[in-house]
Each structure stands twice: as structure tokens, then as C-alpha cells.
Amino acid sequence: MNVYRYIASRLGSDSKGASRQDRLGSVSTTIGLVSVAVSIFVIIVAICVVLGFRSEIRSKASAYMGSMALVAPGQTPLNEKFPFCDSISYLDRLDSIKGVESLQRVAYCSGLLKTEDNIFGAHFKGVDSLYNFSFFEENLSAGQVPSFAGRISSDIMLSGRLAAQMGCRVGDEVTAYFIGEEVKVRKFTVCGLFDAQLENLDNSTILCDIRQAQRINGWDRDQVSCIEIMLSPDSDIDRKSYEVNELVYNCTEEDDPALFATSVKQLFPNLFDWLNLLDLNVVAILLLMIVVAGFNMISSLLIILFRNISSIGLLKAMGMTSRQVGMVFRNIALDIVAKGLALGTAAALAVCWVQKRYRVMTLDPENYFVKYVPIDFNFVYILLANILALVLIMLILSLTSRFIAKVSPDKTMRAA
């Protein structure tokens, strides 16, 4: 057994006749343990919440425009003036890239929805029967998702927020006007309502049959505005965007349209800038809480040192150096810190699990884009937070070595 650990366990268990349980229940030890537990609790909850926001908002934005989209140069995915043919030679290679889940054809057209009192502008997003509606199914508030297999469908799906402003419900007919070289009028039937809590997109996006959008724009059946690329949730969007653009550049043949990939981060920079600010807040919380826990541990350890000052003098008289005595008391501190980290981590994981399972804490979706505090677990980050907290707190505790160096054996033993 390590001699420093052995001496630390003896000092901790029978100092002044106190048992180990009494020592853990003492004021000094309790302050240190609770301080460390609260600090790591706050840090882990903050990490899980920020990861939850990042996951939720990324999934919402990607559901509207794809994780990235192949578009014509100088255009956005909403392009309705410069279509391109979807028979591209390298699509199979794109689909085989690790992390790419699907490629989806989309055609956009802009229209006006007229009610008795108001006019609403919207982007009609035309999709086909192979489109992945899972996001809209998860956020379905009324009706059902449309089916665009078979004959051209006049069903549309829009947000509950836009439907409320228009005063329409599932099953109602709405009239849309499409203004170009000539005004085109179409009647659609509302088949479903969704609520994704992204106000700007909720108020301006309507899902319709891609063949309707192509007809309105005067396009052929193989012409689209963009091809959405959906990535797996754990994929790095920036790295995959670079990889896709490299493939497009190297594999484009003479008959292929000139295209490039634009990522969801470029399409919605305000959302991802907000997430980056949350990351900075987590870093600030992490450093602040570690510093607070570290200095509270210094207070606790100093109290323990004062209680055992005669033991320090005895150890020095027996030939131990100040550094070796410091190792003994750092082992006592390590025991307290480790227990505090374990308790705080367990409490944080329990609270986060309850929130993820039951969504107890709610939010205003107009400000936070979600109805509840989102939680996402990443145990690598949680482990790294514990290791970083342990290392930094123990480094801060090294300041107590100055006190040990000043303890004189003859004075302390005489006093004892």
C-alpha cells in the first residue's frame, strides 16, 4: 500500500479520535465535498443542455433545408429561376459517403395565400413520395403528413402558427396565387399541421407535391431547385460539406450541371451563432465553478491542516520533507474531491435523465426555439469535464504546500 495513502487514511480516520464518518460529516470536509459536488453538477447540466440545444436546433434547421444542399452557383436552395436537371452522374457516390443518410429532390415556388382580411407570402416546398417526413411526423399537431405517390396531389402541410393566422384548419381549402409572367391560381387542401417552433420558417414554409411546384414554375419533371443532403446527427457538417464539395469538383462530368454544396450553417447563420454563444457560456461556467470549488477546497484543507498541525510536526520530525507531508494531505483532499465529483455527477445525470424523459422544465419557444429544456448526453464530454475539474482543483490545492513548509516540528511538538 502507498505510504502516503496509508498515512492519509490514518489521519482521516482517527484524527482526534474522530471516525471516518464523523470526519466526512465535519464542517470543513462537508464544505469541500458539497462545493465540488455542486460545481460538477452545474458543469454537467450546462454541457447536457447546450448539447441538447445544438442537437434540437440542428435537426430542426436540417429538416427544413437539409444538412446541406446542392445548388446552382450564386443561388440558394429557394431558387425558382434557375433549375437544374437531377440526373447527375455522381449522385451514387454522394449517397455512399459515410454519414450521408439520404438525397432528396426539392423544387420551390413562391406564392401568396389570401384570406378575407390578409395576404400571406410563403415558400411552397415541393417534395416527392420518397421524401423523409419523419421530422414533420414527430412535430405533427393535427391531421396527417401528405402522401405524394400516384396522381398529382393538391394536399399541403403547413405550420399551425401560419394556419392560425390564416384562420384555417385541417380539411379546409386555401387559394394560392403565383405571380410570374402571368398570375396562376391554385386551390390546395390542408391535410396536416406541424409545429416546429422556428418562427420565421414556420410562417413561410408549406410542403406540397413537387409536381405542383414544377408545373407552376413551368419546369420539366426532372428539374429541381436543389438536392438536399441529410447527414446523420453525429456527422460534422463543416467537414462533410468540404468532402462533398471536393467530390462534386472532382467528379463533375461534361453533361452535369455546375453545382456546389451549401451547409445549413451558411443558410441559418443566426441560429448557429447563437449556439456558439452558448458554448462560450459553458466554458465560462466551467472555469468559474472549478475556481470556486478549488478555493473552497483550499479553505477545507487548511482547516484539516490546522486540526492536524501536531501530526505534521511529528511527520517532519520523523524525517519527512514538506513535499512528502504535502503528498499525505493531497491524498486526503483527493479523497474528498473524488467523492464530490462522483456525487455531483450522479445527481446531474439523474436530473438530466428526468428532464429528458419527462420534460419537466419548459421554455418559451419564441425565444428559445424549443418548448422545453433539451438534454443530450455525451459521456465523453462528461468524463473530460470530471478529469479537467479534478486536475485543476488539485493544482489549486498545491497552494497549501506553503503552509506545510512553514510548520516547525519543534514548535508544534512542544505545543502538543
Q: What is the pLDDT of residues 242-274, one digit of tens each?
A: 999 999 999 999 889 999 999 999 988 888 888
- C-alpha 293/C-alpha 136 separation (Å) is 45
On whether the CB atoms of residues 237 and 231 are closer than 8 A, the answer is: yes
- C-alpha 287/C-alpha 38 separation (Å) is 14
Instruction: Please name which of 391, 373, 383, 394 lies closest in space to residue 46, comparing C-alpha atoms.
Output: 373
Instruction: List, for residues 141-186, the tens digit of each pLDDT value.
Output: 999 999 898 899 999 999 998 998 888 899 999 999 998 888 999 9
Phi (first) and psi of residue 293, to 5 degrees? -65, -40
* Sign, CA torsion 21/23/27/33: negative
Residue burial 245-266, b: 16+ Cβ < 10 Å; e: rest = bebbeeebeeebeebbbbbbbe
* Sign, CA torsion 323/329/330/331: positive
Determine the angle formed by the axes of helices 3-14 and 322-358, rounding to 10 degrees.
Answer: 70
Q: Which residues in 128-251 belong to E strands, given as ranges? A: 140-143, 155-159, 173-179, 183-194, 205-209, 223-224, 226-231
Q: Give the residue ranges of the chain where pLDDT is below 70.
A: 1-26, 306, 308-317, 319, 321-322, 326, 400-416
Question: What is the structure's pLDDT at 412?
Answer: 54
- C-alpha 327/C-alpha 11 separation (Å) is 13
Question: What is the structure's pLDDT at 25?
Answer: 41
- C-alpha 129/C-alpha 150 separation (Å) is 9
Question: What is the structure's pLDDT at 193?
Answer: 95
- Please state the pTM of the whole predicted model: 0.83
Residue 83 carries which side chain, given as an amino acid letter?
Answer: P
Question: What is the structure's pLDDT at 374?
Answer: 94
Question: What is the structure's pLDDT at 415?
Answer: 46
CB-based contacts of 253: which residues, under 8 Å, 6+ apart? 89, 90
Q: How many CB atoms lie within 10 A of CB 20?
A: 13
